[in-house]
Each structure stands twice: as C-alpha cells, then as structure tokens.
Amino acid sequence: MLLPLRPGPARATPAQVAALIAELVGEAELHDGRVKLDLPVMVENGNAVAMTVSVDAPVSQVRSIDVFAEGNPLPHVLRLQFGPRAGAARIATRIRLATSQTVIAVAKLADGSCWRDSVDLLVTLAACID
C-alpha cells in the first residue's frame, strides 16, 4: 500500500524577508539602534513566545513598527501603528515561531529614518506546523 506524503510547511527564506524589509523601507537607509527587540534566546515552545519591542523616540515620531520572522510560513508577523493617545513607543505581546530563526524588528520614524534590531533564537518545540 502506498501512502502519499504530506508536504512539510513552507517557510520563508532570509532573502524573502530581506525583500519584504526593502519594500517597507524603500530608499531609506536601514540603521541599527533606536529599536530594542527583546525575545528569549532559547525558546522551549514556539506556540507562545513573549516579545517586547520598543523604540527610543517620542511616540508621536514613530510611524510604524514591523516584526519579521525569517522561518515562519508568513514572515510578516506584526505591523503596529501608534495613535495620538499612545503613551510610549512600546509593545509587549506573544508570537508564534515555526522554528529556530532570526526575528527582526523595523521602526519607521516621522523623519523618514528606519531603524532595526534582530535576535537569533533557538526553538526546541516548533509551532506553525499543522
């Protein structure tokens, strides 16, 4: 008896994520700094990974924060825009991670500058695979 194999989940590649980030920032140069991405380096369960992203700028100057996960089937994990009543350019949430990978946060500021931070992490129990 022959059973068909179910294909594994498709995952984004670092090149695809780089293309998404290039589309996001356009002609602006991407700088390191001003963005702080806080994720654990060792993740036991990828189904709910605590993440904090903050930007060292007044909230009125932050146009958006985007988070990308290079190994997820859908790599653009989060897009956040702050309203006028936001107290700080900071968010704490949980995300799903399919596998060990690099997570990248990009902030666009009102002056047109773009800033990034990234974390390489190891996931021992993968998510996003069913």
Grouped pLDDT means (10 residues each) for the chain, 130 residues: 52 91 95 96 91 96 96 94 90 93 96 97 74
Q: Determine, yes or no, domain membership for 118.
A: yes
pLDDT of residue 5: 47
CA distance 32 to 56: 12
Beta-strand pair 114-123/30-32: parallel
Question: Can you give the CATH number for the domain in which 35 is found?
Answer: 2.60.40.2470
Query: If we measure between CA atoms, which residue out of 63, 110, 109 comes closest to residue 86?
Result: 63
Q: Is residue 55 part of a domain?
A: yes
The answer to whether residue 65 is domain-embedded is yes
Global confidence as pTM: 0.87
The answer as to whether 103 is a domain residue is yes
Whether 129 is covered by a domain: the verdict is no
pLDDT of residue 82: 92
Does 108 fall in a domain? yes
Residue-number span of the structural domain to which 35 is assigned: 31-123
Q: Is 14 contained in some domain? A: no
**Diameter over CA atoms, the chain:** 64
